[in-house]
Amino acid sequence: MSQENSKEVILQANNLVKTYSQRSGRFGFGSTQVKALDNVSIALKAGSTLAVVGESGSGKSTLARCLLQLHPFDSGEVLFQGQNLAKLDAKSLRAARKHLQMVFQDPLASLNPRMKIGEIVGEGLLIHGLGSVIEQKNKVHQMLERVGLEVTDAQKYPHQFSGGQRQRIGIARALVLEPKVVVCDEPVSALDVSVQAQILLLLKALQKEMNLSYIFISHDLRVVRHIADEMVVMNQGKIVEQGAVTDIYSAPQQLYTQQLLNAIPGRKAA
């Protein structure tokens, strides 16, 4: 919460537009254009957390993917440390990607079931050719311990872990490359509330230690309140409101944001 306004912007998106064409009509012969991102601009300050909040279909996951150049977009630009990612050649883009990592919602779906944890976490180091084999191995072991797993877990397979442990593996995989920006797409939505608390605290601690900047995609406004410094509220591909989390929660300006905040379960009773 102690972010000064003068902090440098590490990741910035300007006027992103992304349209999907969707089959329509009962037999899918027709086609309609859906604007998943409609002129979206965001700025992530170094060392802080920017939450992207919205309901299903709001475009928040599309935004995450476009930021990391995993989806092509129609127009607009994404700047990482001032560099336009779309203008980079393949080699420079790969170098930039070391600093742009992602943590997914369902860790079981995003971890290769046939690879050992050590291989999964170490794969990025291998691809980017960072350090000798021994160094890579040590790095993987350190990272596993840092996220609360054991060195011996490197020899196990994803199915041998619980949901919370798998999310720790997903975090280790993303952070072993010492990235600058981590996009977390609903990282705690599939977890029990006690595990959710563990993972949120782990993400916060790692952010401090490694000076990470997070884009935090979530539909859960209670979680966002705890982890984010700033937020954007999305609805139907558009940003309807953005600002500091404390300001928006205490005085939402837009009707849609007010509706979202009023719908938080347990708010009326509290």
Among 66, 102, 143, 223, binds another protein (CB under 8 A): 223
- Phi and psi at 125, nearest 5°, equal -60, -40
Residue 198 interacts with another protein (CB under 8 A): yes or no: yes
Which of the residues 155 through 194 are near another protein (CB under 8 A)?
Answer: 192-194
Type and span of the H or E element at 66: helix 60-67
**For the chain, how many residues are written?**
270
201 touching another protein, by CB under 8 A: yes
Q: Are strands 230-235 and 238-244 parallel, antiparallel or unpaired?
A: antiparallel
Asked whether position 269 contacts another protein by CB under 8 A, the answer is yes
CA–CA dist 243, 219 (Å, integer): 17
Give the contacts of 10 (CB within 8 A, at least 6 positions apart): 44, 45, 46, 80, 81, 180, 181, 213
Q: Does 23 sit near another protein (CB under 8 A)?
A: no
- Whose tokens are 């998106």? That residue is 13
Could you tell me which stretch among 15-23, 84-92, 109-117, 219-227 binds another protein (CB under 8 A)? 219-227
Residue numbers 43-82 binding another protein by CB under 8 A: 55-56
Among 23, 87, 94, 267, binds another protein (CB under 8 A): 267
Counting contacts by CB under 8 A, is residue 35 touching another protein? no
Residues that bind another protein (CB under 8 A): 55-56, 192-198, 200-201, 219-223, 225-226, 245-246, 249, 259-270
